[in-house]
Structure 1
Amino acid sequence: MELNHIGITNKSEDHALKFYRDFLGLEKTREILLPPELSKQLFSLSREIKVLVFEKPGIKIEVFISDFKHAYPNFTHFGMMIESFSDIAEKARRFGAELIEGKHKDKTVYFLKDFSGNLIEIKQKSQ
């Protein structure tokens, strides 16, 4: 078994493009309009939903554009391996993306928050 894709909600197409394409460097490969009938069957929401698909080798993210609000607290997240933590931290500052640092004893965990509040855990690949 292997992971095929991640599906998340984003509040605007502009936010999704700025974060997933411009910031993370994923390619927008598809744009889908999910018809209300199918949306109702799958998600119990009877309205058309735009879905943007972003990819790079080994990762595929389906971003559902909707004003749906996350429950609080929101524990939903996905994790990404990155080449350089210092590069992503500097890029986050330039883009205005929130970088979250959590520490407990001798362990530090890092998350990015996209422009709709979705959490992405980041870990640096071993050098």
Structure 2
Amino acid sequence: MELNHVGIINKNEEQALKFYVDFLGLKKTREILLPSELSQQLFSVDKEIKVLVVEGEGIKIEVFVSDFQPENPNFTHFAIMVDSLSNLTGKAKQFDANVIIGKYKDKTVYFLKDFSGNLIEVKQKP
């Protein structure tokens, strides 16, 4: 078994593209308009929803552009592996992307928040 894709919600298409394409460097490969009938059947949301598909090496994300947001606290996240944590955190400052650094004893954990508040854990490739 392997992971096919991750689906997330973003409030704003322009901000989603800025974060996932411009900042993370993924490529927008598709744009889908999910009909309200299908949206109702799958997600109990009776409205048409735009879905942006962004991809990179080993990663595929379906970004649902909608003003709906899960309740807090929200622990939902996905994790990405990067070549350089320091390069990514430096680049985050240029994009005003929120970097969260958690430290406990000898462990440090890095998360990003996209512009809609979705959490992305970031790990350094070995």
Q: TM-score, normalised by structure 2?
A: 0.98
Aligned partner of residue 60 in structure 2, secondary structure: strand
> Residues of 2 paired with 1:13 and 1:103: CA distance?
33
Structure 2: state its 5+ residue gaps: none
- Deviating beyond 2 angstroms after TM superposition, the runs of 4 or more aligned structure 1 residues are none
Aligned partner of residue 73 in structure 1, secondary structure: coil
**Where do residues 1-127 of structure 1 align in structure 2 (5 Å cutoff)?**
1-126=1-126
Alpha-carbon displacement from aligned partner over 1:47-69 (angstroms, at most 9, x marks no partner): 00000000012100000000012
When the two chains are superposed, the root-mean-square deviation of aligned CA atoms in Å is 0.5
* Pairwise CA distance, 1:70: 2.1
* Count of paired positions: 126
Q: TM-score, normalised by structure 1?
A: 0.98
Structure 1: state its 5+ residue gaps: none
Matched residue type, 2:42? L
Alpha-carbon displacement from aligned partner over 1:46-102 (angstroms, at most 9, x marks no partner): 100000000012100000000012211110000000000110011000000000000
